[in-house]
Amino acid sequence: MNRVSAVLQSIALSVLLIGGAHASTSKGAPANKASIVTATGSSTTHHRVAKSKKTGQKVNINTADADAIHKSLINIGASKANAIVAWRKQHGSFHTADELTQVKGIGLKTVEKNRSYIVVGSVATSAKN
């Protein structure tokens, strides 16, 4: 009986998903959430992840403040942007975009995602910006 019940629930779920119906009927639930009840009776909530709102503008990592870096680069939050500025103040200008990997929490994948937005220009005033 349990196996049959699980199969029927799976079929019912497929019909609901294909038909565009939402299994979630809780009051005030946002339209982008769907709650799915599994064969064990537990439920999981799936959230639609919104795309990050980045400016899509290039940013000079040697002159920009943390806010500009945060707004321009993908997967760079406020704390990582502050870490970039702190690293720059301690070590001097970045010579290549790949040097961002020396900042804690920034890997090569993040640099690759942002390569077209990263500008590495010289700092006019001093090397210790």
Question: pLDDT of 3-61, one tens digit each?
Answer: 777 777 777 666 655 665 444 444 554 544 444 454 445 444 443 333 445 667 899 99
Question: pLDDT at residue 124 above 70?
Answer: no
86's enclosing H/E stretch is helix 78-91
Query: Which residue has tokens 């299994």?
Result: 23
Pick the CATH number of 59-119 from 1.10.150.280, 1.20.58.220, 2.60.260.40, 3.40.50.620: 1.10.150.280
* pLDDT average, residue stretch 106-114: 96
Give pairs for 51-60: CB < 8 Å, separation 24+: 56/117, 57/117, 58/116, 58/117, 58/118, 58/119, 59/117, 59/118, 59/119, 60/119, 60/120, 60/121
Give me the pLDDT at residue 45, please.
43
Q: Are 70 and 81 in contact (CB under 8 A)?
A: yes
Q: Where do the structural domains in the chain lie, given as residue ranges?
A: 2-47, 59-119
Q: Are 2 and 38 in contact (CB under 8 A)?
A: no
